[in-house]
Amino acid sequence: MTEQKSIFLTLSGRTNAGKSTLLNALIGEKIASVSSKPQTTRTRITGILTQDQIQYVFIDTPGLHKPKNKLSGHMLKTAEDSASDADAVLYVMDCTKQLHEQDEAMLRNLAQKKIDCVIVLNKIDLIQDKSRMMPLMLKLENQYHPHAIIPVSASQKDGLDQILQVAGALAQPSVHFFPDDKFTDQPERVLAAEMIREKLLRLLNEEVPHGIAVTIEAMQERQDKDILDISAVIYCERDSHKGIIIGKHGAMLKKIASSARHDLENFFEIQVNLKCFVKVKQDWRNKETLIRSFGLSE
C-alpha cells in the first residue's frame, strides 16, 4: 500500500480576491458563500479533497480588511490565526488589483515565520494580455520569495491542477484526518444558513446584508414524505432593514427564499420546504454574546 500523506492549506488574502470561489472549485462542491460584496466569509470553512494517497485540507478564511466592529475584529483574528497554523498558505490575490499594504504585511509576515507560501494570482480570465502580470510576478518573487506563484482563474477552474501538484509535493506522510469521501466538516445547519445568507448578500444592497446573520432553528426530514423542512431566522440590525428584507408585500423575502431553496434542494438532493422569519437585533455585530450565539467567534 502506498503511504498516506496529508497537508493543511490556509486560503488567505484580501476580501474579494476569490478565496471561497477557489475553495469550492478545488473540492468540486459549493460549501462556501461567494459574492461580489466584500467580507462575505465570516468564519473558518474547511474543505477536503482526497486524491489517491494525498488528503488536502483547505481552510477558507475571512478576507483581510480594515476592522469596523467587534465582528470584523473576530474575522481578522480567525484569518491571521489560520495562516499561522497551516502547513502552507495559498495566498490568493486578484491579479487585476495593485499590491495592497495588507498583502505586503501578510506576505512579509509569512516569509518571516518561514511558512511555505504559494501565491495564487486569481482572475486571470479578466486579463487579455497575460504579459501585463509580469511586473507584479517579478516583484512578488523578488520581495517575498514564495514557494511558487500560480496564475489561475477560480471561476473558470483554470490552473487548479497546478495548485494541487505544487501543494501535493509539500504534503507530508501522515494518516488522513478525515474519511476519504468527506468534503467538509461544516455541519449541515451551518451550510444551509450560509446558502441563505449568500442570497441575501447577492440580492440586497450595500449596507443591509453586512448586518445580517442567519440561524437555522429547525431542520428535519419528514417521516412520511421525501421533504426536508427548514426553518430559518434572518437577523438584521434595524427595523428599516427588516422592511427592506421583507420587501413590498413580502416580495423580496419570497425571492430570497425561493433562490435559497433552489440551492438547498440541489445540495441536499431532496425537496425542501423553507420558512424564513426576519427579526431585529440592534447592533449585534458589536455584542459579544450575540456574535457567539450566531457561531461567529471561536
The rounded distance, in Å, linking the Cα atoms of 11 and 23 is: 8
Which member of 5, 8, 9, 18 binds ligand GTP (CB under 6 A)?
A: 18
> Which string of x and - marks every residue 54-83 that binds ligand GTP (by CB under 6 A)?
--------xx--------------------
Chain length of the chain: 298
The DSSP-derived string for 111-178 is HHTT-EEEEEEE-GGG-S-GGGGHHHHHHHHHHH--SEEEE-BTTTTBSHHHHHHHHHHH-EE---SS
Nearest approach, Cβ of residue 39 and ligand GTP (Å): 5
Residue 43's CB is within 10 A of a number of other CB atoms, namely: 19
Find all residues with CB under 8 Å of 179, minimum gap 6, and list them.
none
Residue 122 contacts which entry, ligand GTP, Mg ion, none (Cβ below 5-8 A, type-dependent): ligand GTP
Element at 72 (helix H, strand E): helix 70-85
Residues 137-166 that bind ligand GTP (CB under 6 A): 153-155
Nearest approach, Cβ of residue 229 and ligand GTP (Å): 29
Nearest approach, Cβ of residue 45 and Mg ion (Å): 8
Task: Tell me whether residue 152 or residue 166 sits nearer to ligand GTP (CB atom).
Answer: 152
User: Is residue 41 a contact point for Mg ion (CB under 5 A)?
Assistant: yes
Q: Which residue is nearest to ligand GTP (CB)?
A: 63
Task: Tell me whether residue 37 or residue 242 sits nearer to Mg ion (CB atom).
Answer: 37
Find all residues with CB under 8 Å of 225, minimum gap 6, and list them.
none
Q: Choose one: 39-47, 105-113, 259-267, 283-291; the region binding ligand GTP (CB under 6 A).
A: 39-47
Residue 82 contacts which entry, Mg ion, ligand GTP, none (Cβ below 5-8 A, type-dependent): none
Grid coordinates standing for 199?
A: 442570497
User: Is residue 105 a contact point for ligand GTP (CB under 6 A)?
Assistant: no
